[in-house]
Amino acid sequence: MTVKIAVLVSGRGSNLQAIMDSIEKGYIKNAAINVVISNKANAYALERAGNYGISTVFLDPEEYDRAEYDKAILDILNRYDTDLLLLAGYFRLLGNEIIEVYRNRIMNIHPSLLPAFKGLHAQKQAFEYGVKVAGCTVHFVDEGLDSGPIILQRCVPVLPEDTEEALTARILEQEHVIYPEAVRLFTEGKLKIEGRNVVTRT
Ligand code: GAR
């Protein structure tokens, strides 16, 4: 059975790219990205998806109120018979109705070791805080901000000569490793949620 994936994006789409590549290379099996939805017309992620022959939709937030916007997303997810929804650099809060319908089937990548540094500019927050270890997290999405059960995390060191940009790049490299890995575990049926704890069967 093919796991049908939809991806929400807002910008560059390098995580989307990593997942598309992982499907193409056969690292993630039995899965297909059927649609990529953006809240930004000029998101480069849309171009990346188009290059792979994936359907793309730009949903203009200016044209809907909040509830209607979520309804429009839900309609697309239903139309594409979505099994798994991925947030990949999606900079807009997801409505509760979507979370309810797709509970435990929505993943997000966040560029910090959650629960530290939630919200925007997580790498900058970590850098300015002076942490010695930073990283990234893939988690299931619940109603809170970056608060759902954690699937995978990866650490990177913060080096004495680091800049925020260098740290951000080091974290991003690991994002491109753990997001495809988390999707693979999901598509192989190896993730089980027990309360806050995600148990991985190997
Ligand atoms: C990534 O670093 C992702 O972790 C972050 O935005 C970037 C998107 O890059 N997401 C968040 O901060 C969400 N709170 P991409 O568009 O190249 O994948």
Which pLDDT does position 59 carry in this prediction? 98
Instruction: Output the pLDDT for position 142.
Output: 97
164 and 182 share one domain: yes
Instruction: List, chain by chain if needed, residues with CB within 6 Å of any ligand 1 atom.
Output: 11-15, 45, 88-89, 109-111, 122, 172, 175
Residue 176 annotated among the catalytic residues of the structure: no
Query: Using the 8-state DSSP alphabet, how is residue 61 labeled?
Result: G
- pLDDT mean across residues, the chain: 98
Q: Residue 104: what pLDDT?
A: 97
> How much of the chain, in percent, has pLDDT values that exceed 90?
99
What separation in Å is there between the alpha carbon of 177 and the centre of ligand 1?
Answer: 14
pLDDT in the model for residue 48: 98
Q: Are residues 112 and 200 in the same domain?
A: yes
What domain range is 202 assigned to?
Answer: 108-202
Of all atoms in ligand 1, which is nearest to the CA of residue 146?
14
Residue 202: pLDDT over 90: no
Same domain, 97 and 119: no
Supply the pTM of this predicted model: 0.98
Q: Say if residue 120's pLDDT is above 80.
A: yes
Strands 197-200 and 191-194: antiparallel
Number of H helices, E strands in the chain: 6, 9
Strand partners, 106: 85
In which region does residue 133 sit, left (phi positive, over 0), alpha (psi from -120 to 50) or beta (all else)?
A: beta
Average pLDDT over residues 160-164: 97
Question: In this structure, what CATH number is given to the domain that contains residue 184?
Answer: 3.40.50.170
Q: How many separate domains does the chain show? A: 2
- Report pLDDT digits (tens) over 57-102: 999 999 999 999 999 999 999 999 999 999 999 999 999 999 999 9
Same domain, 143 and 73: no
Question: What is the residue with the minimal CA distance to atom 17 of ligand 1?
Answer: 14
Nearest CA to ligand 1 atom 3: 89
As a whole number, mean pLDDT of residues 4-17 equals: 98
Q: What is the pLDDT of residue 168?
A: 98
Ligand 1 centroid from CA 202, angstroms = 27
